[in-house]
């Protein structure tokens, strides 16, 4: 089943747009990545804007001794590059002295650090020597290079070369993508029941547990935005298992099935193992299908989760996607998803936000998935919205989260009905 070929055989028209993009930069990935890898620290080398973004995105988390910070570039750092490197060394030494529990330090590039061509990869190598016991890596989360979840891709891709070499012929499964611990544990239990013995995760929960990788490793992508990470793994001889992404009963089944097939698991055994979870997922979805069936939905681009989510909402809940915007479309990784998506859905890649908003207004969708900068303004225009960032922060993968995922889309519509008695235009500020 060469899915890339199948997709090429049935090309879908894709609207490509360039213009103003209303999206987060890759730095935002730090907010969930630092929760996942418990002994990692993320040091952004950037401007006050970068620090302000992290603070705005992290909300109250900023106050819980978070494991991220910004080294703010000041005027004197811009005067000469040598200076900036010394400054960085000073900041890192200070930081590691304050936080001795840190075992993995990411120097995260930003727009300013990239434009002034501060070489953070050399800085990481240099600092690795002077700071024994701490692995120091570098990736870019800048807006000029990455959009929102692509920050995770860049981070994981930077981890791949640091992964130890697996013994040859060792057959092992790697789950790629940061998942909430509860979801990761559910998947591990399912793989164990299926009889797949060695399952690793990238990222791991602790730096010392970096997975061994090698030609015996096959990997499943748990998230659709991991193009560079997949490439880096393939460069180390690992094999990607194409599949639907594990959203909803169908997506999760297909995703598990890809691994079961790769490990030669008996079909009957596979069905027996997934049956209870699959049935639970379907039961949980029924309740929401009543509310969501027949409703139209419009996705503004944000996280690259849009295509798999539209597939889930269309196929398992009966919604009608009008336009599915994605910041970037990885044709090969998305091949199965594109085939499973109903005909007639406009897929758009990139954004010209004002023109796209014109299309939203013209289509008057029942539900618009968009960022927080657009959600309230669209609600004021009378459109119901679902703010998209929640889809990245909440546990939504797998059988037992299928109902929760559907509920995230149903809730704004339920609320709309409940507060329908309120006057439509209260005074605005």
Partner 1 sequence: MQLTVWTYEGPPHVGAMRVATAMEGVHYVLHAPQGDTYADLLFTMIERRGKRPPVTYTTFQARDLGTDTAELFQSAARDAYARFSPQAMIVGASCTAELIQDDPAGLALAMALPIPVIALELPSYSRKECFGASETFYQLVRTLTDQNLKPAPREGRRPRANLLGPTALGFRHRDDVVEVTRLLNDIGVDVAVVAPLGATPADLARLGEADFNVSMYPETSDTAVRWLEKTLGQKYTRTVPIGIGATNEFIAEVCGLAGLPVPSVPADSRMPWWSQSVDSTYLTGKRVFIFGDATHAVAAARVASTELGFEVVGLGCYNREFARDVREAAKLYGVEPLITDDYLAVEDAIAASACELVLGTQMERHIAKRLRIPCAVISSPVHVQDFPARHSPQMGFEGANVIFDTWIHPLAMGLEEHLLTMFRDDFEFNDAAGSSHLGGHGAAAPVAEAEPEVAAPVQPGGWTAEAERELMKIPFFVRGKARRNTEAFAAMKGLPSITLETLYDAKAHHAR
- Binding site listing for [4Fe-4S] cluster: 25, 50, 111
Q: Does 109 bind partner 1 (CB under 8 A)?
A: no
368-397 in b/e burial notation, b at 16+ Cβ within 10 A?
A: bbbbeebbeebeeeebbbbbbbebbeebbb
Write out the H or E segment, with its range, that includes residue 367: strand 367-370
Of 89-97, 172-180, 315-323, 416-424, which part binds partner 1 (CB under 8 A)?
A: 89-97
**Residue closer to partner 1, measured from CB, 4 or 78:** 78
**Residue closer to partner 1, measured from CB, 201 or 351:** 351
Q: Does 198 bind partner 1 (CB under 8 A)?
A: no
Q: How many angstroms separate the CA atoms of 322 and 341, rounded?
A: 12
In the complex, the smallest distance separating the C-beta of residue 132 from partner 1, rounded to whole angstroms, is 21
The overall longest dimension of the chain from CA atoms, in Å, is 68
Q: Does 17 bind partner 1 (CB under 8 A)?
A: no
**Residue closer to partner 1, measured from CB, 74 or 286:** 74
**Residue closer to partner 1, measured from CB, 143 or 203:** 143
- Token pair listed for 260: 């079961």
Task: Find the radius of gyration of the CA atoms of the chain.
Answer: 22
Q: Does 93 bind partner 1 (CB under 8 A)?
A: no
| Of the residues 12, 21, 198, 282, which one makes contact with partner 1 according to CB under 8 A | 21
Number of residues assigned to the chain: 429
* Residues 126-145 interacting with partner 1 (rule: CB under 8 A): 142-145
Q: Does 119 bind partner 1 (CB under 8 A)?
A: no
Write out the H or E segment, with its range, that includes residue 256: helix 248-262
CA angle 113, 53, 26 (to 5 degrees): 60
| Of the residues 17, 379, 400, 404, which one makes contact with partner 1 according to CB under 8 A | 379
| Of the residues 78, 81, 165, 170, which one makes contact with partner 1 according to CB under 8 A | 78
Q: Does 25 bind partner 1 (CB under 8 A)?
A: yes
In the complex, the smallest distance separating the C-beta of residue 363 from partner 1, rounded to whole angstroms, is 19
2-32 in b/e burial notation, b at 16+ Cβ within 10 A?
A: ebeeebeeeeeeeeeeeeebbbbbbbbbbbb
Q: Does 111 bind partner 1 (CB under 8 A)?
A: yes
| Of the residues 211, 242, 248, 371, which one makes contact with partner 1 according to CB under 8 A | 371
Of 4-12, 62-70, 246-254, 336-344, which part binds partner 1 (CB under 8 A)?
A: 62-70
Binding residues: 25, 50, 111
For residue 27, what is the DSSP state?
G
Helix and strand numbers (H, E) in the chain are 18, 14
Q: How many CA atoms lie within 13 A of 114 on its CB side?
A: 15
- Angle, helices 81-98 vs 120-130, to 10°: value is 50
In the complex, the smallest distance separating the C-beta of residue 80 from partner 1, rounded to whole angstroms, is 13
Beta carbons of 247 and 180 less than 8 angstroms apart = no
Q: Does 75 bind partner 1 (CB under 8 A)?
A: yes
Q: How many angstroms separate the CA atoms of 262 and 173, rounded?
A: 9
Q: Does 354 bind partner 1 (CB under 8 A)?
A: yes
For residue 304, what is the DSSP state?
S
Tell me the per-residue interface mask from 231 to 250 with partner 1, x by CB under 8 A, - otherwise: --------------------
Q: Does 363 bind partner 1 (CB under 8 A)?
A: no
Q: How many angstroms separate the CA atoms of 105 and 41, rounded?
A: 5
Q: Does 107 bind partner 1 (CB under 8 A)?
A: no
Q: Does 99 bind partner 1 (CB under 8 A)?
A: no
Q: Does 380 bind partner 1 (CB under 8 A)?
A: yes
In the complex, the smallest distance separating the C-beta of residue 412 from partner 1, rounded to whole angstroms, is 15
In the complex, the smallest distance separating the C-beta of residue 410 from partner 1, rounded to whole angstroms, is 22
Of 114-122, 206-214, 313-321, 400-408, which part binds partner 1 (CB under 8 A)?
A: 114-122
User: What is the β-pairing status of strands 239-240 and 217-221?
Assistant: parallel
Q: Does 267 bind partner 1 (CB under 8 A)?
A: no
DSSP per-residue codes, 55-97: HHHHGGGGGS--SEEEEE--HHHHH-HHHHHHHHHHHHHHHHH
Q: Which three-class secondary structure state does DSSP give residue 202?
A: strand
Q: How many angstroms separate the CA atoms of 287 and 53, rounded?
A: 38
Q: Does 304 bind partner 1 (CB under 8 A)?
A: no
| Of the residues 138, 147, 229, 388, which one makes contact with partner 1 according to CB under 8 A | 147
Chain positions contacting partner 1, by CB under 8 A: 19-28, 45, 47-49, 51-53, 55-57, 59-60, 62-63, 66, 68-75, 77-78, 84, 87-88, 90-91, 94-95, 111-112, 114-116, 142-145, 147, 354, 371-377, 379-380, 428-429
């Amino acid at each position: 089943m060469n899915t890339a070929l199948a997709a090429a055989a049935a090309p879908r028209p894709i609207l490509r747009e360039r213009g103003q993009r209303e999206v987060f930069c890759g730095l935002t990935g730090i907010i969930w990545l630092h929760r996942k890898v418990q002994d990692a620290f993320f040091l952004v080398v950037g401007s006050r804007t970068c620090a302000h973004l992290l603070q705005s995105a992290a909300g109250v988390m900023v106050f819980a001794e978070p494991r991220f910070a910004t080294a703010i570039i000041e005027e004197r750092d811009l005067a000469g590059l040598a200076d900036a490197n010394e400054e960085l060394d000073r900041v890192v030494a200070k930081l590691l002295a304050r936080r001795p529990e840190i075992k993995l330090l990411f120097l995260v590039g930003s727009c300013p650090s990239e434009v002034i061509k501060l070489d953070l990869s050399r800085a990481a190598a240099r600092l690795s020597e002077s700071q024994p016991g701490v692995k120091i890596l570098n990736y870019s989360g800048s807006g000029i290079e990455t959009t929102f979840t692509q920050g995770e891709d860049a981070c994981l891709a930077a981890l791949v070369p640091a992964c130890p070499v697996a013994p040859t012929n060792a057959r092992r499964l790697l789950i790629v993508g940061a998942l909430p611990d509860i979801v990761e544990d559910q998947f591990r239990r399912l793989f164990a029941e299926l009889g797949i013995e060695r399952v690793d995760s990238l990222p791991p929960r602790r730096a010392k547990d970096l997975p061994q990788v090698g030609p015996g490793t096959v990997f499943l992508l748990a998230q659709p935005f991991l193009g560079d990470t997949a490439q880096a793994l393939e460069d180390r001889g690992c094999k990607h298992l194409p599949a639907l992404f594990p959203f909803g009963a169908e997506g999760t089944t297909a995703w598990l099935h890809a691994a079961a097939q790769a490990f030669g698991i008996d079909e009957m055994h596979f069905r027996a193992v997934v049956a209870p979870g699959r049935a639970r997922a379907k039961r949980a979805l029924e309740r929401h299908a009543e509310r969501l069936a027949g409703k139209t939905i419009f996705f503004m681009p944000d996280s690259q989760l849009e295509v798999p989510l539209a597939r889930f909402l269309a196929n398992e809940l009966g919604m009608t996607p009008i336009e599915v915007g994605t910041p970037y479309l990885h044709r090969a990784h998305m091949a199965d998803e594109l085939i499973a998506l109903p005909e007639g859905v406009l897929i758009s890649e990139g954004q010209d936000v004002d023109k796209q908003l014109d299309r939203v207004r013209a289509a008057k969708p029942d539900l618009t998935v968009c960022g927080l900068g657009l959600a309230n303004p669209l609600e004021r225009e009378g459109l119901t919205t679902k703010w998209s960032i929640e889809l990245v922060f909440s546990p939504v993968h797998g059988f037992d989260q299928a109902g929760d995922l559907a509920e995230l889309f149903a809730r704004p519509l339920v609320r709309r009905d409940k507060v329908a008695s309120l006057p439509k235009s209260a005074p605005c500020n």
